[in-house]
A and B are shown apart, each in its own frame.
Chain A
């Protein structure tokens, strides 16, 4: 083994300081441009941040992947937990009393029925939903773009995230404002030419076609516009990281 020379020590020291400074600068730039995911503080934070930052830079202004009608395929019901009595009560009323509350950093908080959403804007997309388990299917999804609702509510410019909640207690998620305003992000109330079936999330499901299926939360009741996710749950961005799953599911 060679002895440690002074030159080696100086070189190593310089490289280490330059590396640390470079990393700190990169972290500040990433923070400034919103490239750090809320669940970055774990053992897997480095990988998550690289994935989220790279995919954000590469895909933020790209469309979604759409398919011809002939490729609509046999669907599969992803299992969901027990639904509360309030759900059955609304279902008995054919969901006419179901409300989507829109609050947080908006100038006009809203409470919208499914009919209100239908009146606001209607879009359809034929996209694939892929589960993290590995299976997938293609369906036609019909609904109202989340961006139309955010415009109607007057989301203020400081808004950086949209958190969304469902009727099942403790189950919630969020997307960044770019994903929320993406034309593919759809408050879905119809599927394959008909109403959205309960098994697929009726009366309202948020479709996030550029992320894995678990971001497409069923039985939606509330969306909240925010500038930070620190005060939501454990501050990890959604209930998924609290169960060990990544917040960003673009991969």
Chain B
């Protein structure tokens, strides 16, 4: 629910608190961790751009699919006459460190979601949103590039709520699980975490698919931010508030 904060010095300059301090901090920590994981993940992928299904797979076994890109190791035949610089060392170090940042930030955010009612209030679809019609109406609106009504300014619509729930409760847990399912020590202690996914190589392949899904989410997320007023949105998620008379603040929801 939006709160109107009136500072004693400038009563006339009311501002709308859009994101709490905890949401703002966890949002940007997640962003930093995700970008670090993405860059280092791509570096690690380049050392073996072949993907398999099942427990095992290597150059001597058939691949499920292959990225036709040059590799950073000469142990993979790529068809290119050169090998890219090997960046796996720091990439692996940073990948696992950023993974910790993501997991710990996510844990704090989850506690906040459940403890404050943020989840029920702002992320679960409201009673009137829980219908197929609510989805189709909203999709039609997006397709026609129509702005939302002014009274929807301070709440997430059903598509936003659904995509946030999918990212928080499906994609992020799945990418952590598939990551752990590639750890020989972790799977030694908990073998079912790997076998439930179909094996180590299946886990690696799913890890890639979930990454692609998260990157698609990121692209749409940033596009919506840009379309609905980049500066106002950035101020809201960084400083917490945006001024109601902000010229860029057109009647559109929070991205």
Binds B, one of A9-17, A60-68, A229-237: A60-68
Q: CB < 8 Å: which of B56, B98, B99 contacts A128?
A: B56
B52-88 vs A, CB cutoff 8 Å, 1 = contact: the mask equals: 0001111111000000000001111000000000001
> By the criterion CB–CB under 8 Å, are A133 and B75 in contact?
yes
* Secondary structure call for the A interface: loop
Question: Size class of A's contact patch?
Answer: 35 or more
Binds B, one of A41-49, A92-100, A115-123, A192-200: A41-49
Question: Size class of B's contact patch?
Answer: 35 or more
Q: Which residues of A contact B98 (CB under 8 A)?
A: 47
Q: Which residues of B contact A83 (CB under 8 A)?
A: none
Q: Which residues of B contact A46 (CB under 8 A)?
A: 97, 100
Q: Which residues of A contact B89 (CB under 8 A)?
A: 243-246
> By the criterion CB–CB under 8 Å, are A71 and B55 in contact?
yes
A48-83 vs B, CB cutoff 8 Å, 1 = contact: the mask equals: 101100010011001111010001011110110000
Instruction: For the complex, give the distance between the alpha carbons of A115 and B146 in Å.
Output: 80
Q: Which residues of B contact A244 (CB under 8 A)?
A: 89-90, 93
Binds A, one of B135-143, B187-195, B245-253: B187-195
Q: Which residues of A contact B100 (CB under 8 A)?
A: 46-47, 50-51
Shortest Cβ distance from residue B189 to the other chain A in the assembled complex, whole angstroms:
4
Binds A, one of B110-118, B152-160, B177-185: B177-185
> By the criterion CB–CB under 8 Å, are A251 and B58 in contact?
no
* Secondary structure call for the B interface: helix
Q: Which residues of A contact B99 (CB under 8 A)?
A: 47
Nearest CB in chain A to that of B63: its residue: A135
Instruction: For the complex, give the distance between the alpha carbons of A43 and B94 in Å.
Output: 9
Instruction: For the complex, give the distance between the alpha carbons of A160 and B57 in Å.
Output: 35
Instruction: For the complex, give the distance between the alpha carbons of A64 and B47 in Å.
Output: 27
Nearest CB in chain B to that of A213: its residue: B184
Q: B200: CB under 8 A from chain A? A: yes
> By the criterion CB–CB under 8 Å, are A73 and B74 in contact?
no
Q: Which residues of B contact A (CB under 8 A)?
A: 7, 44-45, 47-48, 50, 55-61, 73-76, 88-90, 92-94, 96-101, 182-189, 191, 194, 200-201, 204
- A selection of 9 A-B contacts at a CB cut-off of 8 Å is A43-B93, A58-B189, A128-B56, A130-B182, A131-B48, A134-B48, A134-B204, A184-B188, A246-B92
5 more A-B contacts (CB under 8 A) besides A46-B100, A47-B93, A136-B200? A51-B100, A76-B60, A79-B75, A134-B50, A246-B92
